[in-house]
Amino acid sequence: MAEVISNPSGVTEAKAPHSPFFADLYTFDWCALTLHTALITSVPVVIALVGGVLVGHPSAGLIAGGGAMTIGFGLNQRISDSRLMPMIFATLAMAVSTFIGMLAGHTGFGLEIAATIYAFVYGLLTAQAAGISWVGQQAAVVLLVTSAFPADAYHAMQRALLTLAGGALQIGLTSLFLRILPELRHDLAVLPQVGYAGVGQVRHHLGTARVLRRLRGLPKALPHLTRAASVTFAVRMAVTVGLASELYRWRGVQSGYWIPMTALLVQKPAFFETLVRGAMRVAGTLAGAVLSTFFLVHIHPDPLVLAILAAFFAFCAFATSSVNYGLFSLFLTSYIVFLLSLNQLPGPVIAERRAYATMAGAAVALVIHLDALRRHRKDPSNT
């Protein structure tokens, strides 16, 4: 299972000069409701979850369904005008990150090191095209999520393959329903060429002098931010996720991965963006936790009903991903609570831990960003 987000770009569109800082909290863009696309991307999730229950392996269905859920949001992204390339790259990146995350676990410093590196790279990628940034984000999120399930290489590979299968199911069915199978065939055909070109560039720049020159020139590859801002944001992201990962390790609670994951998702270049993002995620998470907990306590659904409910809230999350981030977080939390209940985890406990960890992660992101608030207050243009 992996967390998802529909608009991951660290550089958001500029608001109108007189737009209130907190307008996003109460703004609902119902014109962005996408029922048709949500229905299509929900089908693979339904197949994975319900199929896993029917064949007697709900845990396997949970993992594959989580992969399908995450990759479904890739349909909103683009890489070189391709709708499927972000989904393909994210599927591969998630499988690799699953393997690494499970080997690292959450009880030692291995995850903290890996998470810091992932966060720094993602911080740099947020200045690139949204599709590339989204792939980096999903890789980082999956690393954090799978660290909650430490395992040996064999079982880590099994989970990685199930994630790969869920992503592949989403890509295949989405291509079929949207009638873009020719585009899929083309993207798969050029994938080895893209990978080979990337490897060739790495080999070309392996020399120490070349590496130093590339590092000095790196900020030039971040066109949306200034030299100082691009590096500062990447460093802040790494520090934020590193500290949140240490808090996760210190707490020793399996579901504590929501702490660094929330910190990663809400951290933005501007302080007020981080504040609003954090507030919306906390509010949506609390509402979703209350909703799902009330249902589980009073209804006591069987595994098949849990799978159907998880798929329903996945559909709602897909449909509202661009309507309002708080509303999206509500549906996403409900989806995750019902999803993890399939693994015989107590739903109310899941909801309570998610709410606590979400607030902790948002708090970490805001604390690390307080220096930006100080600079904002000192800026003469804000007086």
Kindly state the average pLDDT of the residues 191-208.
51
Q: If we measure between CA atoms, which residue out of 266, 260, 269 comes closest to residue 116?
A: 260
pLDDT, greater one: 49 or 283: 49
Per-residue pLDDT at 379:
53
Query: What is the chain's mean pLDDT, rounded?
Result: 79
Place 201 in a pLDDT band, splitting at 50, 70 and 90: very low
The pTM (predicted TM-score) of the whole model is 0.80
Give residue 260's identity as a one-letter amino acid code: P
Of 352 and 378, more confident: 352
Highest mean pLDDT among 83-87, 155-159, 222-226, 367-371: 155-159
Q: HEC profile for 20-61?
A: CCCHHHHCCCHHHCCHHHHHHHHHHHHHHHHHHHHCCCHHHH
Determine the length of the chain.
383
Max avg pLDDT among 75-89, 264-278, 330-344? 75-89
pLDDT of residue 289: 74
In this prediction, residue 359 has a pLDDT band, given cuts at 50, 70 and 90, of confident
* Tokens 């998702």 found at: 265
Check whether 195 has a pLDDT greater than 60.
no
Helix (H, G, I), strand (E, B) or coil at 264: helix
Angle between helices 325-341 and 271-299 (to 10 degrees): 40
Question: What pLDDT, on the 0 to 100 scale, is given for residue 179?
Answer: 86
**pLDDT by residue (tens digit) across 274-331?**
777 777 777 777 777 777 777 776 777 788 998 999 999 999 999 998 898 888 888 9
Pairwise CA distance, residues 119 & 264, whole Å: 7
3-class SS of residue 228? helix
* CA 244 distance to own-chain centroid: 16
Which of the four pLDDT bands, split at 50, 70 and 90, describes residue 194?
low
The set of residues, in sequence order, having a beta carbon less than 8 Å from that of 329 and lying 6+ positions away, is: 280, 281, 283, 284, 285, 288
Judge whether residue 18 has pLDDT over 50: no
pLDDT tier at 212, thresholds 50, 70, 90: very low
CB 214 within 8 A of CB 204: no
Percent of the chain with pLDDT over 90: 34
In the prediction, which pLDDT does 65 show?
95
Contacts of 380 (CB under 8 A, 6+ apart): none
pLDDT in tens, 60-87: 999 999 999 999 999 888 887 888 999 9
Structure tokens at 10: 């660290």
Tokens of 95: 């499988």
Residue ranges of the domains in the chain?
36-382
Give pLDDT, residue 230: 63
81 is written with which tokens? 């005008």
Q: What is the pLDDT of residue 193?
A: 64
Q: Which residue has the higher pLDDT, 154 or 7?
A: 154
pLDDT at 220 exceeding the cut of 80: no
